Amino acid sequence: MEQKMSVCQFEAVYDAWGAAVYRLAMVYLGRHADAEDVVQETFFRLLYRSPLFADEAHQKRWLLQVAANLCRDQLRGFWRKRVTELEDVLPAAAPEEQEALSAVVRLPEQYKLPIHLHYYEGYSVAEIGEILHLGQSAVKMRLKRGRELLKLELEGST
């Protein structure tokens, strides 16, 4: 069953979770314009196709799951393979966090989203598995391997 949302409710949800959806899309896609497209489509789906939510945590998980699916679709898309890469600015971060955030963005696709969801958004392994449609053991392994790659890269850059 779908829920109808007022403009005020929509604005409140966007204010609460818009930045988290953008960060996820930016980490996944690495480009500002693509991340904005995903945010727009995610909130469009919230407005017109959202289910009834049990609570705010359920709503946030749904938004991040939709955004992750849209990011995957965009990476598989025809046009994505024909775009010339331009350098893009990462979301604003404290100078001491910028190096780590840049390293996360450079991780292989399968590691960067679990790392982001766990360390930047604070999700548990079980919640990440639900969002990404993975088993808990797969999430744990991706977190472990992602941390190893980050450690190698960050140690090598100092």
Give pTM, 2 decimals. Answer: 0.67
pLDDT of 87 reads 44
Give CA–CA dist 147/107, Å, rounded.
10
Question: How high does pLDDT run on average in the chain?
Answer: 84
The pLDDT > 90 percentage for the chain reads 47
137 falls in which pLDDT band (50, 70, 90)?
very high
Query: In the 8-state DSSP scheme, what is residue 92?
Result: P
**pLDDT at res. 29:** 87
Q: What is the mean pLDDT of residues 2-31?
A: 87
Closest CA to 26 of 65, 60, 63, 71: 71
What domains are there in the chain, each with its CATH number?
1-85 (1.10.1740.10), 95-158 (1.10.10.10)
Q: What average pLDDT does this structure show over 18-46? A: 92
Give the N- to C-terminal CA distance of the chain in Å, as an integer.
Answer: 53
